[in-house]
Structure 1
């Protein structure tokens, strides 16, 4: 399918720029790539695409960026003892590294000694590496593609906001949370607000109440059809579905009206064009 509109073309162009050599990929004119350049139905690589790459790793994010099968890179953030924001999902090191204990118990110097443990089930060959800091990810990918970061520790919102502002990325980074009150704080800081909700939460949510301060509502693909449709009708401009791993899940989300896909398997979805009656294919280049 041919790309529709200059914004989609700009997004595709940005995805061809890889490595550290391309200092400031542009849209049409000047400045970093922003959400305004996203295609009609963007794909977000959840934790970099956790079924295809080591989650929340620099190598994994770089691979997802190079492959160009997602237009948004998603990662999680936590806070170290000294206030340094780092890229990590769990509260403890045990599941994804060779160490144990609380992430919040380490400082920046100690963090340099942490090494990720890639899962054996991942395709390809991956080396152990240090989990990056948020600043490192923003410096490498900020302005080259749209980013999505989850603030696992709301105490770090001020620091995250400063890192985003210092780099001129307030229109290039979604800040994600499951807490509607934290979402209000994100909005008050002048950042793009993403609110994710579980299937259980969506049963009783009234998403229209969040319209003034939520830029992206992130809904659980396991939710009932009626609950997803209610979210789509909320007036929030972007309603994306998580965490999608199969083409059938993707097609259901699009059929229910979602206009974005958050996936652990962007490569797999790219290889299977969307088949949604009455809807244009959501796969770039198809």
Structure 2
């Protein structure tokens, strides 16, 4: 069952107005961005990488096309992270929660909608976000891949592992197998991602890291994503596991970033890429700022 969430008249008006204003790829909007000489791949990443978590959720509306595009244009991160769920008809969409309640004007479970019903969903930008943001429909995974795939590295978390086959087909069809990290919390799903020929990312919580043996995953994990709240020894064990890249999540302060880098991580997932870019690192030898493009 889908229900309306009460909102103030101005917010509701913005939601209605945006129906006519919305322009996304495949729905009357601009064509996909061009790659130039070819898609950016994982090989283009700097020694220390910044990933905008949900597009940079403290700076832009999370998991929105406008937020992802703003993060891309600002150039304060080399990777854009977003979450995915699967609708009733199998359509992969960009969304974090099981339900619509927290971030949209509707209530109910995401998986009970189909693609046509998804067109009626509108995001509610948080009041405390900097800047001015319109309400808009959350994009589909296909729209994000068409708009940004190959122009910047993407990080796609599978909230519904059942959507892997369809998402993998979209990535392969666009020649983006070296341009999109596919993220999961489950080692067995990570193995499936690896067998599908995709870049595999595995995230782990601080509690999980207490008993993890990450060296067991080095044959199929390209990126290990560790909790910034984990103990120093657990982070160090991950860094020494033999997995090519170890990044820390979710970083929101320069001090957290500097700790992750000092422990040997070579990247961070952050809700505030702009803030981190304004503060130089205090770790000798680490990249001190994010370069624009």
**TM > 0.5:** yes
Residue of structure 2 in register with 1:41 after alignment: 48
Contact 1:255 1:279 (C-alpha < 8 Å) held by counterparts? no
Task: Give the aligned length.
Answer: 264
Q: Secondary structure at the match of 2:210?
A: helix
Alignment of 1:125 with 2:132, yes or no, is yes
Partner of 2:251: 244
Deviation per CA, 1:183-206, whole angstroms, max 9, x where unpaired? 000001000000000000000000
Of 277, 285, 289, 1:283 maps to: 289
* Pair 1:95-2:95 in alignment: no
1:105 aligns with 2:112: yes
| 1:152 corresponds to 2:159 | yes
2:60 is the counterpart of 1:53: yes
1:191 and 2:201 correspond = no
| Counterparts in 2 of 1:285 and 1:169: CA distance versus 1, 3 Å | closer
Query: What whole-Å deviation, never above 9, does each CA across 1:120-164 have from its counterpart, x for those lacking one?
Result: 010111000000000000000000000000000010100000010
Q: Distance in 2 between matches of 1:225 and 1:174?
A: 25
Task: Please give the secondary structure, in 2, of the residue aligned with 1:69.
Answer: coil
The CA distance in 2 between the partners of 1:22 and 1:95, in whole Å, is 30
How much is the aligned-residue C-alpha RMSD, in angstroms? 1.4
* TM-score normalised by the chain length of structure 2: 0.88
Q: In structure 2, how many angstroms separate the alpha carbons of the residues matched to 1:124 and 1:256?
A: 35
- Look up the match of 2:261: 254
Judge conservation of contact 2:59–2:129 (CA < 8 Å) in 1. yes
- Contact kept, 8 Å, 1:231 with 1:239, in 2: the verdict is yes
Match of 1:74 in 2: 81
Structure 2 gap segments, 5+ residues each: 1-28
Supply the distance in 2 between the matched residues of 1:68 and 1:20 (Cα, whole angstroms). 21
Whole-Å separation in 1 of the counterparts to 2:228 and 2:50: 14
